[in-house]
Chains A and B, each alone.
Chain A
Amino acid sequence: GAVVSQHPSWVICKSGTSVKIECRSLDFQATTMFWYRQFPKQSLMLMATSNEGSKATYEQGVEKDKFLINHASLTLSTLTVTSAHPEDSSFYICSARVPGPNEQFFGPGTRLTVL
């Protein structure tokens, strides 16, 4: 199946700093990628849909100025958490839809801890 990678797999940062998370599709081109957030023992919540070459579409309640998404190429989307605070600590997962089959492949996730 298709492979999606994320980097870093975990990050610890101080409150007020910014953190960038990369999501790459390794063996296919993804015109659309998705960013999810998952708090412990909870479901995956869609944050935004990232479209190559255009602005991301954010879900209601997600601050676009705080969670900056850039989809500069068909294989790379980045999520930057700006001015991170402890409440932003979570598991961030990206995914990409493979053309044709009705399934999404997920990256391994990035665990963010803000001190």
Chain B
Amino acid sequence: GQSLEQPSEVTAVEGAIVQINCTYQTSGFYGLSWYQQHDGGAPTFLSYNALDGLEETGRFSSFLSRSDSYGYLLLQELQMKDSASYFCAVRTGANNLFFGTGTRLTVIP
């Protein structure tokens, strides 16, 4: 079976840095993606890691360690608008994307 685990909730202060971890156990692995979803909205793509290492896109960075079946999303210079749910997702095949349980991030002033 597939399992992806993330913390259910994280709270951080505006301007701070927060890291959201994701551990996975899947049959097949092509890469790890991160999506952001605001309440009532659709998930939006943030990043994709196929190889080990850190990928940086503006304030957001994503890391992957395939040997540890682990990745994280790093959000810097937090803004109030970053309050949302963040999902890691593993691509297990050409057309298979399985989502983690989601982490609800609350940014406080």
Chain B 25-41 interface 0/1 with A at a Cβ cutoff of 8 Å (1 = within): 00000110101000011
Q: List 28 A-B contacts (CB under 8 A).
A: A1-B45, A34-B97, A42-B101, A42-B102, A43-B87, A43-B99, A43-B100, A43-B101, A44-B87, A46-B96, A46-B97, A46-B98, A46-B99, A49-B95, A93-B42, A95-B43, A97-B95, A102-B30, A102-B31, A102-B50, A102-B91, A103-B45, A104-B45, A104-B97, A105-B45, A106-B35, A108-B41, A109-B41
Contact B48 A103 (CB under 8 A): yes
Contact A103 B42 (CB under 8 A): no
Query: Residue on A with the closest CB to B87?
Result: A43
Nearest-Cβ distance from residue B92 to partner chain A, whole angstroms: 11
Q: Which residues of A contact B69 (CB under 8 A)?
A: none
**Does B11 sit at the interface, judged by CB under 8 A?**
no
A95-B95 Cα distance, complex, nearest whole Å: 11
A-B contact count (CB 8 A): 50
Among A104, A108, A111, the one with the most B-chain Cβ atoms within 10 Å of its Cβ is A104
A103-B48 Cα distance, complex, nearest whole Å: 7
- How many chain B residues have a CB neighbour from A under 8 Å? 23
Q: Which residues of B contact A45 (CB under 8 A)?
A: 99
Q: Which residues of B contact A111 (CB under 8 A)?
A: 40
Contact of A109 among B42, B50, B91, B97 (CB under 8 A): B42
Query: Residue on B with the closest CB to A45?
Result: B99
Contact B102 A43 (CB under 8 A): yes
Among B31, B42, B101, the one with the most A-chain Cβ atoms within 10 Å of its Cβ is B42
